[in-house]
Amino acid sequence: MKTKIFCDSADFTTIKKLNNNSLVSGFTTNPSLMKLSGAKNYRHYSLKLLKVCKKKPISLEVFGDTFDQMMKQAVIINSWGKNVYVKIPVVNSKGLFSGKVIKTLSEKGIKLNITAVYTVNQVKKILKSINKNSKTIISIFSGRMSDVGKDPVPIIKESVRLTKKMKKVEILWASTREAYNYLQAKKCGCSIITMPPAIIQKISKFGKTYQELTLDTVKNFLKDSRDSDFKI
């Protein structure tokens, strides 16, 4: 199975550029990326992104913390475009499972991206809440697991196994830290991996030989030493 590459960015220029890149199949955003990109008005900025990303799937996240807020925001965000997936955090800031929100929205046929997922138990609870005929992405934050010394691979593999027969459910490898994560996600059977633009650029270098890498490295060292006019 092919693992699709999504770009994890809310930067307008980046999305406009990569929207025409055949390597990129979609986009993911979140409130932190929106803030980083300078968004002041969430609705206006999102609609600006949707003007350049009209067909490829793009995930836009709710930012309310109560379930009523999440529900209301999700319905509005969903109305912005047919290619929109509404991102719902698996729990709110109090640690309460967003099951009611997920169930209600999924039953309405709203495409969802359930985010900030870390455990198989969370995946199981999500699967019990969704309408299996409604498109759903489950974003597992593999990189953040690795950051604290935990191996995400067993969790990803089990999540893929649990959703294997569910054609409308996709497991997404999130918080990508390096290009090699793409090969890991592919080996695990992930439907999607989302990654920052800088890592997408590295994917294009796949296939270089060790000799080419050695020469590239030595040439970079030589260039930097000459540019610095080092002397001993």
Active site residues: 87
Tokens of 16: 């406009």
CA angle 106, 108, 109 (to 5 degrees): 65
* CA–CA gap between residue 137 and residue 102 (Å, rounded): 12
Q: Is 41 helix (H, G, I), strand (E, B) or coil?
A: coil
Q: Which residues pair with 58 in a beta bridge?
A: 27, 84
Check: CB of residue 54 under 8 Å from CB of residue 81: yes
Nearest Cα neighbor of 84 from 61, 66, 68 is: 61
H-state helical runs in the chain: 12-18, 31-36, 42-52, 67-78, 99-107, 120-129, 142-147, 153-162, 180-188, 197-203, 210-227
